[in-house]
Every structure is written in C-alpha cells, then in structure tokens.
C-alpha cells in the first residue's frame, strides 16, 4: 500500500515538498531530513491522511503528535495547486526519473535549470532525469520529452519510457495490458504494458550510419563504425557506434587487451573522456560490455548528461546491436546491468529493437517552484 508524506525540501529558497512514499520506503523518510525540521503527513495514494503527522528534527528524533482529522478527498495525481510541481518518482532498474504530468501543454512545466536542481541528490529530489508526459503529435497517443540531470535534452530514454508507460496507466487509471504510441526525439516508439506489469518497448530501428549516430570516426563497414580504433587517454579501444535515437559508443575491449572485466573499470575516470571525446560531436553514452555467452552480456554505462547510472535502456539495445555486428552474440540477449537485467531482441524481420523490463513507482511528491 502506498502512503504519502510531506517534507520540507529547500531548492532555491526555503520551500516545502510533499512526498508520498510507499511502505518499503517509509524508513527512507528519516534520511530525507537534512533540514532543520521536516513536516511529514502520511497519506494513502488517494491522498486520505491515514496516520498522525510526524515532526522530525535534524537529530532524526521523532515525536508522534495528535492525529489530525480530515484530508483532501482528491487523488494525489489530481492535485493542481499552482506554484507547485506535482510529480511521481519512478525507476527502471535503478535508473530513476521525476515524472511530470504535462498532458495539458506542449511546453515542459519546468526549465532545464530547474530540472538540474530537482535531480540533485543532495539538494533536490534526486534523479537521473525528468520526463514529461505531453499531448501526442502526428497521430500518436502521447509525446515524451526528457531532461538529463545536467539539463541537456536527449532524444530518447529506454528505461524512462517504461516508467512513462506505467505513469500513463496510473494517470488514466488503466489496469492490465495496455499499449500506447509515443512521439519521441527518436521518432515513433510503441509501449506495451504486459500482464505481469513489465513494459515491452518497440524502440524502432537502430541507426548505424556514422554521420547520423553521430560520430567522426571513419566508417569501416558499409557506412557504419564497427570495432574501430578509438584512442582515449593513451589506450586504443575497439568501438562500435550505434544510435537508438541517441548516440552510443559500445566497447567490448581494447586493441591490446583481453575481453573486458567490467567490474574492474574505473568508470568515473574514463567515462567522461569518452563522453566529451572529439569523435562524438553530440557527446556520447558509452557502454562497457563483458560477454558471458551469445545470449548473456554484462554491461556498465557512462551516460551522456547523467554519468554512471544503474541501467540504460537505449544503451542495452545499442549493446546487443553492437554485439551482433561484431559477431559476439545472437539477436536475443539478456543484458545484465548494475540495477538488474533487461531482455533485448534485435528482430531480423523488421530490423526493430525490442526491450522488455520493469518500471516501478517510488513515491509521490510536490515541490514549490
Ligand atoms: N538512461 C536512458 C538514457 C537517457 C538519455 C541519455 N543520457 C542521453 O543523453 O542520450 C536510457 O535508459 O536509455
């Protein structure tokens, strides 16, 4: 059962943020108290207050006060108080996002600068990005827009769109199997919520032409870059470049070395050097991959605009495409990420990539803007 809490959360000036947190995150609320005092009001998901308000001090001591009566009758998702951003925090395998109901406008409710503040894990809500549910265009049901935690705007986000599907189902009060067409910066994608709650995404066709990825590495296989030499910080890596709407550089090893042992990589050191490499004019996401078998890959990612994350959906798709191109794996793979596994299929019949994985709501909140 989901419950809710209100917590003061200063962003620009002293402010107050209302968070609904699910039962398993109730203990988290005390660690969310870097402020002098935090006012917690617990709600059911429908916003009915269900337990006494609790005041928590910086020393994390708690005192339970007299129960307050009555509560707003509306659902949390119906809240419309102006001056606040109402959101739901979701994650897909630990790749976490602030989801915003933006169905009434094609302009994001917050700016990239505000997104940077909200994504901050110490001074904000904490997330890898912000995702907006917007009205569909070109006949699609919805449009998705995304801000990375650094405020840049990527074309697509695989884990994010699975969260997007679950958020829509919640907003529209839909149960069971559902399917939505979505316009994204990467073109049309199709989301399908399955009976078990997992979300399958038709991610469309991978883009392999070097100039469209984009990369300045010279094409070496048809028009694409496959297992090409890329010098980063004195090491010659073998790189395959794939776009899933957003750019990816997939690395299975270096020219000199053995296959990668991904747990041994110093990701925070080398990741930014790939991201900002001159060969990638739009920067790049980078996936470091270890092959366990032709259907089992292990990957760690350094994301453009977000750094090391626990999972990257587009990155997992790019990884399987690169593995097929390099002859390392088949078209159906489990990609193991720090946050858990994704199932990826690069289907021969239509050349589309399909990704299946989970998405979970974490808590509900409101933050003054
Ligand atoms: N985590 C995402 C990718 C988000 C966008 C990426 N950082 C970029 O700038 O391209 C995913 O799951 O695909």
Phi, psi of 254 (to 5 degrees): -105, 165
Is 268 part of a structural domain of the chain? Answer: yes
How many whole angstroms from 196 Cα to the centroid of ligand 1? 25
Residues 224 and 165 in one domain: no
Q: Which tokens hold the place of 201?
A: 């995404």
Catalytic pick among 17, 312, 317, 333: 312
> What confidence tens digit (pLDDT) does each residue in 271-320 have?
999 999 999 999 999 999 999 999 999 999 999 999 999 999 999 999 99
Residue to mutate, 314, 339, 342, ligand 1, most ligand atoms under 8 Å from C-beta: 314
> Is 275 found in the same domain as 171?
no
CB 125 within 8 A of CB 114: no
**Nearest-atom index, ligand 1, CA of 303:** 7
| Alpha carbons 28 and 3: distance in angstroms, whole number | 13
Apex 287 CA angle, 284 and 290, nearest 5:
165
Q: Are residues 215 and 200 in the same domain?
A: no
> Cis omega (within 30 of 0) on the bond before 214?
yes
Contact 286, 306 (CB under 8 A): no
Residue 148: half-sphere exposure toward Cβ, Cα within 13 Å: 19
Q: Is the CB of 312 under 6 A from ligand 1?
A: yes
pLDDT at 71: 57
Q: Is the CB of 157 under 6 A from ligand 1?
A: yes
- Report residue 351 as tokens: 């050349």
241 is catalytic: no
Q: Within a domain: residue 28?
A: yes
The answer to whether residues 300 and 180 belong to one domain is no
The 10s digit of each residue's pLDDT in 185-229 is 999 999 999 999 999 999 999 999 999 999 999 999 999 999 999
Tell me, using a 6 A CB cutoff, whether residue 286 lines ligand 1: no
Residue of the CA atom closest to atom 4 of ligand 1: 157
Q: Which of 9-13, 217-221, 365-369 has the highest mean pLDDT?
A: 217-221
The answer to whether residues 342 and 361 belong to one domain is no
Q: Residues 121, 199: one domain?
A: yes
> Are residue 236 and residue 319 in the same domain, yes or no?
yes
Instruction: Say if residue 251 is in the same domain as residue 337.
Output: yes
Predicted model pTM: 0.84
Within a domain: residue 87? no
> In this structure, is residue 342 part of a structural domain?
yes
243 and 286, same domain (yes or no):
yes
Closest CA to 131 of 208, 120, 117, 154: 154
- Tell me whether strands 84-92 and 95-101 are parallel, antiparallel or unpaired: antiparallel
Q: Is the CB of 19 under 6 A from ligand 1?
A: no
Both 221 and 276 in a single domain? yes
Residue 86 lies in a domain: no
Same domain for 111 and 44 = no
Ligand 1 touching residue 305 (CB < 6 A) = yes
3-state secondary structure at position 139: coil
Q: Could you tell me if residue 49 is inside a domain?
A: yes
Q: Is 85 among the domain residues?
A: no
Quote the number of domains for the chain.
3
The larger pLDDT score, comparing residue 21 to residue 81, is at: 81
DSSP 82: T
Range of the domain at 26: 1-79
Could you tell me if the ipTM is greater than 0.95? yes
How confident is the model over 69-107, as pLDDT tens digits? 455 546 888 887 888 999 999 999 999 999 999 999 999
Same domain, 100 and 193: yes
Domain harbouring 289, CATH code = 3.10.310.10
Task: Report d(CA 1, CA 355) in Å as an integer.
Answer: 29
Q: Is 215 domain-assigned? A: yes
Q: Is 312 a catalytic residue?
A: yes
């Amino acid at each position: 059962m989901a419950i809710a809490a209100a917590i003061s959360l200063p962003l620009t000036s002293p402010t107050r943020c209302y968070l609904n947190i699910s039962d398993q995150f109730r203990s988290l609320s005390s660690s969310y108290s870097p402020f002098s005092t935090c006012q917690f009001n617990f709600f059911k998901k429908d916003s009915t207050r269900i337990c006494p308000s609790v005041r928590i001090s910086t020393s994390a001591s708690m005192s339970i006060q007299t129960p307050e009566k009555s509560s707003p009758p509306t659902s949390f998702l119906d809240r419309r108080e102006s001056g606040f951003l109402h959101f739901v925090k979701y994650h897909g395998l630990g790749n976490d996002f602030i989801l915003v109901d933006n169905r009434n406008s094609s302009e994001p409710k917050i700016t990239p600068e505000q997104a940077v503040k909200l994504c901050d894990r110490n001074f904000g809500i904490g997330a890898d990005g912000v995702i907006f549910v917007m009205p569909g265009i070109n006949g699609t049901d919805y449009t998705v827009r995304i801000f990375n935690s650094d405020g840049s705007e990527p074309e697509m986000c695989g884990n994010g769109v699975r969260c997007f599907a679950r958020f829509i189902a919640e907003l529209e009060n839909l149960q069971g199997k559902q399917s939505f067409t979505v316009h994204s910066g990467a073109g049309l994608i199709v989301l399908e919520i399955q009976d078990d709650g997992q979300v399958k995404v038709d991610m469309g066709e991978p883009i392999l032409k070097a100039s469209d990825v984009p990369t300045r590495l010279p094409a070496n296989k048809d028009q694409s870059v496959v297992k090409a030499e890329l010098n980063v910080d004195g090491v010659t890596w073998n790189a395959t470049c794939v776009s899933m709407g957003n750019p990816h550089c997939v690395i299975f090893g270096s020219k000199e070395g053995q296959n990668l042992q991904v747990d041994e990589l110093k990701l925070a050191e080398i990741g930014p050097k790939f991201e900002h490499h001159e060969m990638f004019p739009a920067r790049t996401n980078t996936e470091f991959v270890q092959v366990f078998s032709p259907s089992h890959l292990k990957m760690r990612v350094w994301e453009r605009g977000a750094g090391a994350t626990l999972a990257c959906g587009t990155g997992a798709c790019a990884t399987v495409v690169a593995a097929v191109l390099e002859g390392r794996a088949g078209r159906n793979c489990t990609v193991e990420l720090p946050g858990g596994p994704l199932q990826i299929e690069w289907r021969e019949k239509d050349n589309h990539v399909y990704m299946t994985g989970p998405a979970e709501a974490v808590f509900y909140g409101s933050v003054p803007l």
